[in-house]
């Protein structure tokens, strides 16, 4: 049976460097323990230096590990269902090189339609490696030679036969792989969170004095989905208006009427909001 410990021992014997790609969200304690235990040249914040830098404090990190460092994350290894990230090995012994490769793949698209690709999420990694052909791994994984990750039921190892510098194509094949519902929801959450932190910084600071921002945002998105509002335009409108509402929660008058379709509901609320903002007349 594959375990991270057995995999890491085998990679070390091959002379490869070990890396941990860790999502900070939900793992702040483990992340900070590693930051305090390894030297500064052995970790990088992956959102720094990218268009997602405003989310750096809660974004993914990469750590260069030695086997002894696994003790700091033993609880993570015991609870892979938390989907905290994955392990990698590489003949490259410089964490900055690996971080640069990952940053090129973390934010995709062109302004103003950029989005975060959750390469640091083991669920996204699993889905990509399941759909890609082996000869497509090098462009996806770059200088990474082996990955060890939780696929939802067991630890899995996938090898990259040609690790190295592989320039990204204009339309990487892995961006066309349909995402799972859970991965899509995570991407949607990250993108809207990033948008709010850039566009509504002061309001979010006030909101955070009353309640947890991430919990609030998840609640808003869940409510929007129960209304059948799933398009990006609808979701952005929903959270924008929620931030303007008393106590940051929409009033009952915004809720759908009996037998009202999601499209008709959105149109009614959108027109009403324009009226109250003085942008349209009755």
pLDDT single digits (tens) 160-203: 999 998 888 878 888 888 766 776 777 788 778 878 887 888 99
- Same-domain check for residues 213 and 165: no
- Same-domain check for residues 39 and 83: yes
Residue 45: DSSP 8-state: E
The per-residue b/e assignment along 193-206, b for 16 or more CB within 10 angstroms, e otherwise, is: bbbbbeebeeebee
Structural domains in the chain (count): 2
In a domain, 41, yes or no: yes
- Same-domain check for residues 249 and 132: no
Q: Is the whole model's pTM more than 0.75, yes or no?
A: no
Distance CA 92, CA 96 (A): 10
- Same-domain check for residues 66 and 143: yes
- Same-domain check for residues 147 and 224: no
Contact 43, 95 (CB under 8 A): yes
pLDDT band, residue 12 (cuts 50/70/90):
very high
DSSP letter string over 102-140?
A: HHHHHEES-TTS-EE--TT-HHHHHHHHHHS-GGGHHHH
In a domain, 47, yes or no: yes
Distance CA 66, CA 17 (A): 8
* Domain span holding position 8: 4-176
In a domain, 126, yes or no: yes
Cα separations (Å) of 125 from 37, 42, 228? 27, 23, 29
In a domain, 191, yes or no: no
pLDDT band, residue 55 (cuts 50/70/90):
confident
* Arithmetic mean of pLDDT, 119-138: 94
In a domain, 268, yes or no: yes
In a domain, 33, yes or no: yes
- Same-domain check for residues 231 and 151: no
* Arithmetic mean of pLDDT, 4-27: 95
Distance CA 37, CA 245 (A): 44
Antiparallel, parallel or unpaired: β 43-45 and 85-90: unpaired
- Same-domain check for residues 37 and 164: yes
Cα separations (Å) of 221 from 4, 81, 227? 35, 23, 10
* pLDDT higher than threshold 90 for residue 34: yes
* pLDDT higher than threshold 80 for residue 275: no
The rounded mean pLDDT for the chain is: 89
* Arithmetic mean of pLDDT, 110-129: 84
Distance CA 221, CA 226 (A): 9
In a domain, 193, yes or no: no
- Same-domain check for residues 171 and 38: yes
In a domain, 38, yes or no: yes
- Same-domain check for residues 144 and 31: yes
pLDDT attached to residue 281: 43
- Same-domain check for residues 164 and 226: no
Q: To the nearest whole percent, how much of the chain has pLDDT over 90?
A: 61
pLDDT band, residue 282 (cuts 50/70/90):
very low
* pLDDT higher than threshold 50 for residue 280: no
Contact 16, 145 (CB under 8 A): yes
Q: 176, 192, 220: which is the final residue of a domain?
A: 176
- Same-domain check for residues 159 and 272: no
- Same-domain check for residues 167 and 217: no
pLDDT band, residue 57 (cuts 50/70/90):
confident
């Amino acid at each position: 049976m594959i375990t991270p410990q057995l995999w890491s021992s085998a990679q070390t014997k091959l002379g490869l460097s070990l890396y941990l790609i860790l999502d900070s969200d939900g793992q702040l304690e483990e992340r900070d323990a590693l930051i305090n235990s390894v030297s500064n040249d052995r970790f990088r914040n992956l959102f720094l230096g990218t268009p997602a830098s405003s989310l750096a404090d809660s974004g993914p990190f990469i750590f260069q590990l030695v086997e002894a460092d696994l003790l700091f994350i033993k609880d993570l290894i015991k609870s892979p269902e938390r989907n905290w990230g994955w392990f990698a090995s590489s003949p490259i012994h410089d964490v900055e090189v690996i971080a640069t490769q990952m940053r090129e793949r973390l934010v995709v698209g062109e302004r103003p339609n950029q989005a975060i690709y959750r390469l640091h999420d083991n669920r996204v990694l699993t889905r990509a490696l399941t759909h890609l052909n082996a000869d497509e791994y090098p462009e996806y994984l770059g200088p990474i030679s082996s990955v060890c990750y939780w696929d939802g039921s067991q630890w899995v190892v996938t090898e990259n036969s040609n690790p190295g510098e592989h320039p990204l194509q204009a339309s990487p094949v892995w961006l066309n792989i349909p995402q799972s519902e859970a991965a899509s929801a995570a991407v949607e959450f990250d993108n809207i969170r990033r948008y709010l932190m850039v566009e509504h910084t002061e309001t979010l600071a006030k909101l955070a004095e009353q309640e947890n921002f991430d919990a609030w945002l998840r609640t808003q998105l869940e409510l929007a989905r129960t209304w059948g509002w799933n398009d990006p335009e609808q979701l952005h409108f929903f959270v924008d208006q929620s931030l303007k509402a008393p106590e940051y929660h929409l009033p009952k008058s915004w809720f759908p009427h009996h037998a009202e379709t999601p499209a008709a509901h959105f149109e009614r609320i959108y027109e009403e909001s324009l009226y109250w903002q003085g942008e349209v007349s009755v």
